[in-house]
Each structure stands twice: as structure tokens, then as C-alpha cells.
Amino acid sequence: MLKTLFKTLGVLLVLLIAVLAFNTWRYQPKNATWDQVDLPEIDTPALSALLSRAIQFKTVSMRDYPAGRPEDFTSFTNWLTTAFPAATGAMERQMINGLTPLYRWQGSDAVRKPILLTAHYDVVPVENEGGAGWQYPPFEGRIADGFVWGRGTMDDKGALIAMMGAAEQLARDGFQPARTLYFSFGHDEEIGGADGASAVADYLQGQGVQLDWSLDEGSAVLRDIVPGLSTDIASINVAEKGYITVDITAHGEGGHSSLPPRRTAVGELAEALVKLQASPVDGGLTGASKEFFDALGPNFSLAQRVLFANQWLFRPVLEMVLSGSASTDAMLRTTMAPTMLSGSSKENVLPQQAVATVNYRLHPRDSIADILAHTHEQIDNPDVEVTLRDGFQSAASEVSSAQNDAFALLSQTFGQVFGDVIIVPGLTIAGTDSRHYARVADNSYRINPFVMTSDDIPRLHGVNERLSLVDLERATQFYMLLLRNGTQ
């Protein structure tokens, strides 16, 4: 009897190994090949000089301007017309709310839906106006060491200049699109885009315009960022996370700190935060997250491919491994981050209320109502209030298709410009103006054609932001090919 049992177990084990091996064997990279093309020649010194000038306009976004919005915003949009005269002459331009330029390049085919390329020219503040910690002053636009340096080079004036540079060269060459093309350059993306991108979407809706697809920032060509992969990854993001902020408020008796009660407002608040951090929002390999890792998985080593190819057995293990890194965990779930705390204004006074501000980035599977319910459920204390904060909030986006002509066109263009690159659909874990443009676009994609390394990540919104001249040239070539192929 025992011998029969062991024999049966042995047969089942052999079958299991065979199934795992077969699934792993057929789980191979889909190596697409693209027709090679001659990339257009770009006057990179002239284009880098234009990006340098663009950086010198201090278009810093703030929710409240002590002395009013700087004139640099208007000066920048006026400068665009002189910096790119051929593109300006080929297109109609509307100024939305006086500060966001919307360009329209009329196509010859009125039946085909238009497309939209978008960027933003506002930037985040520099922590130290004197430029402490910066290799070169943040608003000088210094060209040195093979880079243009300064606030906004990567986020997002570099893309804007590359787009307009592509349009300028095409216009000079006499290019005429078959389908209508729009460019929109937002002035307030860094504070939510309510007066820029949202107003553009309202305008397009009012004109009866429905876009085939839009392209915005939100990802890049990732180099040596994903452990275990040495090949560059073009993550064409098909969705982006939502954004809400809540205030968690605990109440107490107050009084003198020499006579504290057993439970204070600060203690109640700390307990609530510990509960939240101990019980993250459920996540997993579904939806946009699954699309990303399913496309990336075949490119890993054999041991890792076994896990990805046999998720029917190893999914819990795989999700546990991916949850161990902040970058991959953010792809799997809605994230929660306490960011601000307030209590007593004096060290020896017990606060009558203590408040924690918590920021959530919502995965497309979760709604705002879901996350508020999760927060209440985990805290489980009727004496602690959870309040949705006033101000900017956004649900997660819809998920665009990675199986249509638009995604294929983007993939082809990345393959032709960047060569050996893994192309996958992905999820933008931050926010972009696409949340607004999606109202008037059948599909929305998010990626800038720049190479990004782990060294570049802290430069975004940080110190020593810069864009290489190679990236500026290659991005302009990318947009030229995309416009040629996508508007014919």
C-alpha cells in the first residue's frame, strides 16, 4: 500500500515537473522585428540651445502666488511662436485660459479621428533658490558635459521642445498630415491641471472632437532599473493611478502634559496609523499590473521565468516577492503614505486633536469609495475621524488597449529609434495631465522617449535635473517618425 502511494506521488511529481518545464519552455520573449529606417538628421546644437532658453523661463507652479503668477508664463508661450516659426505657421493656435497653447495641424482626411501629443511647461519649485546642491544653477539652462541642466529639462520641457522641434522640421519639409494632429502644452500640470489640460478637454468636447489616442509623459525607456534585466525597457503606460488625500483626526481631553490620561489624542492617532500600515490595500497581478509583468516576465532568467510562466501555482510566491520592493509593490496595489502630522503647538500641552494627513495613490481596480471604506475598516475606531481632504483628487484612469493599431505604432517607433528594447504596457504610479485628456481620447498612452536610469530618478523634482543631448536628439527623431507614420 505504502509502495503504491510513493509510486503515485512519484508519477505526480514527474507530471508536475513536466508541466512546469513545458510552460516555461513556451514562455519565450516575443521578439518583434521592425523595418529599419534612416533616422532624420537633427540640428542638435540648435535644439539644445532652445531647450536651454526654455529652462530660463521660471514657470514655477504654485497653488498660491504671493505676487501673482510670474510673467514668465506668458513670455514662454509668446517665445514659442518665434522659436518655432515654421511649425507655428503650419498650425492654428488657441490659448486656453490665456496660458495653455493648443495647436491644431489640420489633416486632409476629415473622417479619421485626430491624435494628440501633449507636454507641460510648468515646473516644480527649487527648494533652495540659490541653487544649493546643484552642479549648475537650476534656471540657467547650462549646456555642459553632454547635458542641458536645469529645472524642467526632464519634467517636462524637454519633451515639449522635442515635439515642437519635430513639428518645425516636418513643416519646413512641407509635410502635410492626413489626419488632424493636436499639440497641447499645459501650464499647471504640477498642481493638477484644472485650468490647463482640463480646460483643453472641455474645449475639445465643446468642438465635438473625439481623439483616437493621446500621448503624454508618465514613463520612459528604463535602463538598469528592473533587477535581472540588462536590456532597455520601453514601458508604454496604458493607465495611471488615482490620487486622494485624507485627514485622520483623533480627539483627546487636552490639558497639561504632566497629567496625561492613559490614552491621548496622539496615541489614538499613532494606533490608527500603525493599523493602516499593517494592513495594506489588497493587490495582486491583475489588470494593468498583470499586463506589465506578463510582457516582461519572458525576458527574465530561467528561475524567474518558471514563476511567471506558472502563475497558476506560484502566484502567491510571485506576488510576495514583488511586494518586497517599493517600486514593484506600487505596481500591484493602491499605496498609502502618511505625509503630514500635527498636534499640540507647545511641547508641554496635550493636544485636543491630533491629525495625520495620508496620501493614497489608487490602483485602477480601486475606487475612491473603496479606499475610504478600507481606511475606516482598518482603523476600526469610532473616535477617530476619516475625512476626504478638499483640493485635488482624481480617480484612477481607465485602462487603454495594448492590442490596437496605436500601441503597435508606438511600439514600432520605439523599436526603430531605440533598437534592442523590450516593449511592454505599464502603469504610471504618479499622475499626469492624461487624466483630463482621457475624457476626449479613445485611448491614452504615457511615455517620454528618454532613457532613464536609477541615477535619474532622484533628479525628477530633485536636485541636478538634466537631459542628455543624445536623448533630446533621439526624442525629436522619435516624434518625427511617429507623426509621419501616425498621421498618414
Active-site positions? 122, 189
Fill in the DSSP letter of residue 76.
H
Which grid cell is 473? 536628439
From the number of C-beta atoms within 10 Å of its C-beta (0-12, 13-18, 19+), residue 480 rates as buried
CB 322 within 8 A of CB 214: no
Fill in the DSSP letter of residue 218.
S
Residue 40 φ/ψ, nearest 5 degrees:
-65, 145
Helices marked H in 40-101 — which ranges?
44-56, 72-83, 85-90
- Sheet with 147-149: strands ordered across: 143-144, 147-149, 466-468
Kind plus residue range of the DSSP H or E element containing 166:
helix 158-172
CB 427 within 8 A of CB 285: no
Owner of C-alpha cell 502666488:
65
Neighbours of 422 (CB within 10 A): 22
Which grid cell is 20? 512546469
Which grid cell is 482? 511617429
Residue 175 φ/ψ, nearest 5 degrees:
-65, 140
- End-to-end CA distance of the chain, in Å? 73
Helices marked H in 242-325 — which ranges?
265-278, 287-296, 302-309, 311-322
